[in-house]
Amino acid sequence: RQRHDLYAKYHDYDSEISDLLGECGLGSFYASNQSVLIGCYAEDGNGDNAQWNGTMIGCMITDFSAGLGQKLMTEQANGPRALRNDMGGFRGTNATCSADLGTESGNIVTSRHTTTGISYPWRLRYKTDGVGLEMGFGSFSSPLMNINSNTTTATYGRSSAVGESVNFPALFLGLNNSARALTYSSAAPTTGTWARGDIVFNNAPSAAGKIGWVCTTAGTPGTWKAWGVIDP
């Protein structure tokens, strides 16, 4: 078998592959690989495997469910920690986290949390339409937070764009289950499920009107009472 690989200080603790170190240094191997391994080691029973060409520095080689790709990374027993220069898959059967620094088409930092069966649920992106940074879960159809730049087009009821600001579509204040929702609307909710103590501030107030509404009985939509008289 032809090999085109370089290994420096590769430590092997797997008796099954000890006789292969002079040839390839890995338990299973693909002939098309052109890999560089520096300061790596493999432990018995981990199913050592490198499917694609890669650059691995300071690694523990464990069971991968996808190829390595081109990476500068440190592999730990509970999943990969990687600085990557490709957008290919990099997942183990018990992967917990991965991080990308830049892409071929950009220069921002992105972070992804990945579990088996769920593909990249956490997302952070820069939006070119002026909104700024957007954080979402699963997709950006319902963002969790917008961090607006000075070029944003968001007005929030004003006559012009607000510039730098942070927007939360939903906000809960408090600790764990004691937290309650704070939001804005022009009327008490008629849809959705609400908890006792949730507050909706009036975003269209008038003289002698009310500041907002508070949920007094949990439900869908629950019971709401107006509160806070505004001076006439």
Could you tell me if residue 1 is inside a domain?
A: no
How open is the CA angle 36-38-43, to the nearest 5 degrees? 105
CA distance 159 to 152: 13
- What is the tens place of the pLDDT at every residue in 204-221? 999 999 999 999 999 999
Are residues 54 and 140 located together in one domain of the fold? Answer: no
Could you tell me if residue 137 is inside a domain?
A: yes
Could you tell me if residue 152 is inside a domain?
A: yes
Q: How many domains does the chain have?
A: 3
| Per-residue pLDDT tens digits of the chain, which is 232 residues long | 344 444 444 444 444 433 333 333 444 444 454 555 555 545 444 444 444 445 555 554 444 443 443 333 344 333 444 434 333 444 433 444 444 444 455 444 444 444 444 444 556 666 555 556 666 655 555 566 777 777 778 888 889 988 888 888 788 999 889 999 999 999 999 999 999 999 999 999 999 999 999 999 999 999 999 999 999 9
Could you tell me if residue 117 is inside a domain?
A: no
pTM of model > 0.85? no
Helical spans, DSSP H, in the chain:
none
Give pairs for 225-231: CB < 8 Å, separation 24+: 226/188, 230/205, 230/206, 231/207
Which pLDDT belongs to residue 182? 95
Q: Domain range spanning residue 201?
A: 171-229
